[in-house]
Amino acid sequence: MVVGILVTYEPDLAMLDALLRALRPQLAKVVIVDNGSALDVEKSLNPGLLSDLDAQVVRLPANRGVAAAQNVGIEIARQAGAHFVILFDQDSEPAADMVQKLLDAATAKALSGVAIAAVGPRYTDERQDNPPPFIRIRGISVERQACDNGGSVVEVDYLIASGSLIPMSTLDAIGPMREDFFIDYVDIEWGLRARKAGFLSFGVCAAAMRHDLGDAPIKLFGRMIPLHSPLRHYYHFRNAVRLYREPALPWNWKIADGWRLLLKYFAYSLFAKPRLEHWRMMSRGIVDGLTGRMGKYDRN
């Protein structure tokens, strides 16, 4: 059994409805974990649609972060007897056959003797030029694992959380998402932790999903660059720096990802508006990452 886990926070109800309708023919059960939204998500959605999906809605009293919400959903799925969970953000919409394509790929890899961490779809952000490629780091270089053909299944270092299909047995072995990260680098940290334990992640080119990555992107040197709010950039930089401090993390990964982080620091400081606020929050994130100040952002 595959259980879908949707994490919401002040969701766009039209987008959330589209996600649930896309999942209705693909999943038998869905757990919606709302992270302290002001609106009542359960009362705002179509009751017939929730019934069709055997949807369970859990309202957290406050925003505990995406990792904590995912862990709540995972535990409910475990108690329900799920063999797999599939994670979703509220701004994703899977293709009609996405879940089955992921299951087929996971089954084939498992039958070949591979320990599966997760399999994930090729997602498209319509605001950007091309579907983002899958990523793998070799040496100190970031390799973009492009899909040579529709049937390709490519090994990656990690996957974005949304659309990731994860065996429950892997979660039992690797452990839950890291809640002190709150948001950003949660999926990267878990994927690298799984990889260190011998579990591999794969991008499935035939599995498609629409997904909005961040806010409206900015165009820089002819490329569309994903942009987040200053607060999200705080978490992004803090958690990246905190992850670099992990002694078990491969040094080459730290160099390759750290170089990309440095480029983002200068790009967002110069071109993301309001520039001063982006610079201030990224800089504070770096300091807090170095000092180990984790959890939800505290303005004090």
The tens digit of pLDDT for each residue in 97-153 reads 999 999 999 999 999 999 999 999 998 877 665 566 788 888 887 788 778 777 889
- Cα–Cα distance measured from residue 197 to residue 138, given in angstroms and rounded to the nearest whole number: 18
Q: 184: phi > 0 → left, psi -120 to 50 → alpha, else beta; which?
A: left
Domains of the chain: 2-211 (3.90.550.10), 215-291 (no CATH)
Q: What is the mean pLDDT of residues 280-293?
A: 97
Distances from the Cα of 146 to the Cαs of 152, 225, 255, in angstroms? 9, 18, 22
Q: Could you tell me if 168 and 118 are in contact, meaning their C-beta atoms sit under 8 angstroms apart?
A: no
Kindly tell me if the per-residue pLDDT of 213 is higher than 80. Answer: no
Chain segment 238-256, per-residue pLDDT in tens: 999 999 999 888 899 999 9
**Of all residues in the chain, what percent carry a pLDDT higher than 90?**
78
Q: What is the mean pLDDT of residues 202-222?
A: 79
What pLDDT shows up at residue 235?
A: 97
What pLDDT shows up at residue 217?
A: 65
Q: What is the pTM of this model?
A: 0.93
What pLDDT shows up at residue 279?
A: 97
- 3 state SS for 202-218: EEEEEEEEEECCCEEEE
- Cα–Cα distance measured from residue 6 to residue 89, given in angstroms and rounded to the nearest whole number: 6
**47: exposed, middle or buried (Cβ count in 10 Å: 0-12, 13-18, 19+):** exposed
**Which three-class secondary structure state does DSSP give residue 122?**
strand
